[in-house]
Amino acid sequence: MNIVNYSKEYSKETAKICRQSLTCDIMPDYLFKEKTILDPDYRNDLTLIAREGNEIIGFIQGVIRTRQDGKYGYVKLLCVEKDFRRNKTAQRLYKEIEQKFIAEGVKVIRVGESYPNYLTPGVDPFYTEAVCFFERNGFVKFNDTSNLVSDLTHQSFDTQDDEKKLQKENFFVKRAEPNDRDRIIEWLGEVFPGWISEVEEAFKNNPVSLFIAGTAGKLLAFSAYETNNKGTGWFGPMGTDAEARGKGIGAVLLKKCLNALKEEGFVKAIIPWVGPIPFYMYNANAKVNRIFWRYEKKLS
Ligand X SMILES: CC(C)(COP(=O)(O)OP(=O)(O)OC[C@H]1O[C@@H](n2cnc3c(N)ncnc32)[C@H](O)[C@@H]1OP(=O)(O)O)[C@@H](O)C(=O)NCCC(=O)NCCS
Residues at the interface with ligand X (CB under 6 A): 21-22, 78-80, 85-91, 111, 123, 127, 129-130, 132-133, 136
Q: Toward ligand X, which CB reaches closer, 59 or 225?
A: 59
Which of 175, 153, 154, 151 minimizes the C-alpha distance to 269?
151
Quick one: 24 or 267, whose CB is closer to ligand X? Answer: 24
User: Count of residues for the chain?
Assistant: 300
Q: How far is the CB of 117 from ligand X (least distance, A)?
A: 16
Tell me how far, at minimum, the Cβ of 212 lies from ligand X, in Å: 34
Nearer to ligand X, 113 or 200 (CB): 113
* DSSP secondary structure of 169-219: TT-EEEE--GGGHHHHHHHHHHH-GGGHHHHHHHTTSSS--EEEEEETTEE
CA–CA separation, 84 and 128 (whole Å)? 17
Q: Which residue lies nearer to ligand X by CB, 24 or 102? A: 24
Residues 6+ away with beta carbon under 8 Å from 168: none
By C-beta, is 133 or 222 nearer to ligand X? 133
User: At closest approach, how far in Å is the CB of 32 from ligand X?
Assistant: 14
Count of other CB atoms within 10 angstroms of residue 30: 12
Name the residue nearer to ligand X (CB basis): 30 or 126: 126
25 with 86: CB under 8 angstroms?
no
**Nearest distance from residue 253's CB to ligand X, in Å?**
31
How many beta carbons lie within 10 A of that of residue 246, not counting itself? 9
Closest approach of ligand X to the CB of residue 147, in Å: 14
Least CB distance from residue 198 to ligand X, whole Å?
21
Pick the closest to residue 175 from 129, 152, 207 (CA basis). 207
